[in-house]
Structure 1
Amino acid sequence: MSSLLKEDMEKKLFKPKGHTLNEFIETKSKFKERYYLCTSVAKQKEVHISLVKHYRACLDEKYEISEMWLLKDLEYIDGKEPDTDNPNFDMMFEEVRKIEAYSCASKYAFARSLIKLNTLYTKRDIKVLNFDSSYIEEGVIWASNNGDCLVLMRICFYASNLLCLSLCPMP
């Protein structure tokens, strides 16, 4: 489903503007509309971060950019509490923009995308605060597939260790 959504959003919103959609995550909203936080690269190699509103008009899917920032203007991304399953994070441009991702895994996927795009295009020193670095740094496992698999693997590993420890008799 997400690859179809990405393809549709790219075709209807980003390609006409001369952008290539790189990554998107769903965000939570108090309203009935769906919102996505997207990263895209323009033909001039300028990286944009967009908050996109998704809605239906009759039977057609529509997308509209609500807010847009440039990656080169991002001062820091703050993951809030790295030791909890918290989908909230802040991005600091001229002012702080508070975001609630749909899941903690998507928050980390978005942070990885920003880091990768920064390395490729802007080469600036963006502060990455309050993220578990073992889930952010590019490793052998997620270099070939989506990093969410790595996050899920580690959570399962920790859960199985806790289960084993709880089953062991105490001396």
Structure 2
Amino acid sequence: MSSLVKEELMKRLFGPRRRRLHEFIEVEGAGAQRYYLCVAVTKSKEVEICMVKHWRVDREEKYEIVEKWFLKDLEMIDGKEADTDNPYFDMHFHKVYNMEAYSCASKYTFARTLNKLNAMYLKKDFKIVNFDETYLNDDSIWSSNNRDFLVVLRVCFYVSSLLCFSLCRF
């Protein structure tokens, strides 16, 4: 589902503006509208962070950028509490923006993406605080690039549990 949304955002919103969408996460919004926090790169290699509103009119999907910031202006991203599973985080620009991601995993995906794009394009010193460092690194087995591995690992665990359970019954 998320790949379909990403394709739709790219086709309708970022492609025509000559931006390449790297990542997006769903964030909590008011009412029946959805909001996405998107990270895109311009042709001139500027990294943009956009808040996109998504709504439906009759049967047509509508998308609108309602807020835009640049990674170069980001001073800090605060995950609130590193030792709890919570979806809340703050982005510190000239003003602090409170966010609630759809899940804790998506909050970490967003922070990893900002960290990676900062290393690629800016090499700027901005702080990522109150995140568990283990899950921020791309080489971690829990990173979004290794989700297939985690699925296989879970399936193997499930199958081995079933096998043990069936053997124990006799």
- Taking structure 2 as the reference length, what is the TM-score of the superposition? 0.83
Task: Supply the AA of the counterpart residue of 1:16.
Answer: P
Structure-1 residue corresponding to 2:6: 6
Measured on the aligned residues, the alpha-carbon RMSD in Å equals 2.1
Structure-2 residue corresponding to 1:89: 89
Q: Secondary structure at the match of 2:114?
A: helix
Cα–Cα, structure 1 residues 147 and 122, in superposed 2: closer, same or farther, change >3 Å?
Answer: farther
**Identity over aligned residues, as a percent?**
58
Contact map agreement 2:21 2:41 (CA 8 A) in 1: yes
Cα–Cα, structure 1 residues 65 and 146, in superposed 2: closer, same or farther, change >3 Å?
Answer: farther
TM-superposed deviation, 1:146: 4.6
Q: After the TM superposition, which parts of structure 1 deviate over 4 Å for at least 4 consecutive aligned residues?
A: 146-150
Q: Secondary structure at the match of 1:121?
A: helix
Q: Secondary structure at the match of 2:141?
A: helix
Structure-2 residue corresponding to 1:39: 39
Cα–Cα, structure 1 residues 69 and 134, in superposed 2: closer, same or farther, change >3 Å?
Answer: same
- 1:57 and 2:57 matched: yes
- Work out the CA distance in 2 between the residues paired with 1:107 and 1:143: 12
Alignment of 1:1-171 (within 5 A): 1-139=1-139, 141=141, 145-146=145-146
For structure 1, list consecutive stretches of 5 or more residues without a partner in the other structure.
154-171
Cα–Cα, structure 1 residues 107 and 16, in superposed 2: closer, same or farther, change >3 Å?
Answer: same
TM-superposed deviation, 1:43: 0.5
Contact map agreement 1:109 1:148 (CA 8 A) in 2: no
Cα–Cα, structure 1 residues 27 and 143, in superposed 2: closer, same or farther, change >3 Å?
Answer: closer
- Work out the CA distance in 2 between the residues paired with 1:80 and 1:59: 38
Cα–Cα, structure 1 residues 129 and 24, in superposed 2: closer, same or farther, change >3 Å?
Answer: same
**Rg larger for:** 2
Q: Secondary structure at the match of 2:85?
A: coil
Cα deviation 1:83-103 (Å, max 9, x = unaligned): 111100000000001000010
Structure-1 residue corresponding to 2:161: none
TM-superposed deviation, 1:138: 2.1
Task: Supply the AA of the counterpart residue of 1:4.
Answer: L
- Taking structure 1 as the reference length, what is the TM-score of the superposition? 0.83
For structure 2, list consecutive stretches of 5 or more residues without a partner in the other structure.
154-170
Q: Secondary structure at the match of 1:16?
A: coil
